[in-house]
Amino acid sequence: MSYRYKITMAYDGTDFYGFQRQPKKRTIEGILTKIVNKMAKNPDPAITVYGSGRTDAGVHALGQVAHFDFPYDLPEENMLKALNSMLPLDVQIKKVEKVPSDFHARYDVSGKRYMYRMDMGEFRNPFKRRYTAQWRFPVDIDKINVALKDLIGEHDFTSFVASGSSARTNVRTIYEAKCRIDEKENELIFEFYGNGFLYNMVRIMVGVLVEIGSGSRDVHDILRLYEVKDRTEARRTVPASGLYLKHVYYEGDDPAHPTKLPHHQR
């Protein structure tokens, strides 16, 4: 018999090659897999860790989710303490929950929320370089907020996906897209909440939005990009350092989808 645990974690992605396990690379999944198998005294077959989805090299998380089946019935608090005592300092388990055996961290996802931080200083801040990108040109946030409205709804995001994507469709729905200025930190803070995001999609969208804010694109250029379906027209991909997976939604805690999505829509 085994017991299924759902974990919610935060990590500094700077020194990781992303979430997904890769041979001879330092990844979140690789570290978690090693730790839970050591805790379980290296069972056969080995324990597999399933994440809610990939984050790429250098991307951070405030609320990444994963699950695994463990051969011992440990209290949630004990599991939390044990994992955190063995994890490196750039990863923290924030919450542990015992869940039903049919819960799946990836297939039960109904929505995700990403945040992107863009420092607007003229010169690179050495203390923020791992956690923000930089945009040193003047920005009109009113133009950005007009453009953000064009992202809301269901669209074909072919112009906003990097090569190498394995998605079956580039159609996604965005429920919320917003931007604010953090005057104290001199940062643009973007947030996007949708039913799913393509490979590098958020980083490409932010690149288009800051160009709109700086006047190098028409304020409604996003509508043109939907039509042309051409990645080269979107141009830049902003750095991974500014991107955070903020929250993963599941049935019951997702405002847009209180019930599970069919598997083909996930």
User: Quick one: which of 206, 237, 59, 231 has its CA closest to 139?
Assistant: 206
| Active-site entry in 12, 56, 90, 221 | 56
C-alpha torsion sign, points 196, 152, 13, 61: negative
Written as six digits, the tokens of 25 are 């690379």
DSSP 89-155: TTEEEEEEEE--TT--TTTTEEEEEEEEEEE--SS--TTTTTT-EE--S---HHHHHHHHHTTSEEE
Question: Helix %, strand %, coil % for the chain, to 5?
Answer: 25, 30, 45
SS3 label, residue 171: strand
How far is Cα 108 from Cα 198, in angstroms, rounded to an integer? 17
- Catalytic residue at 230? no
171, 221, 59, 123: CA torsion to nearest 10: 180
SS3 label, residue 219: coil
Strands 133-134 and 60-70: unpaired
Determine the residue type at 80. L
Determine the residue type at 58. G
For the annotated catalytic residues, the residue numbers are 56
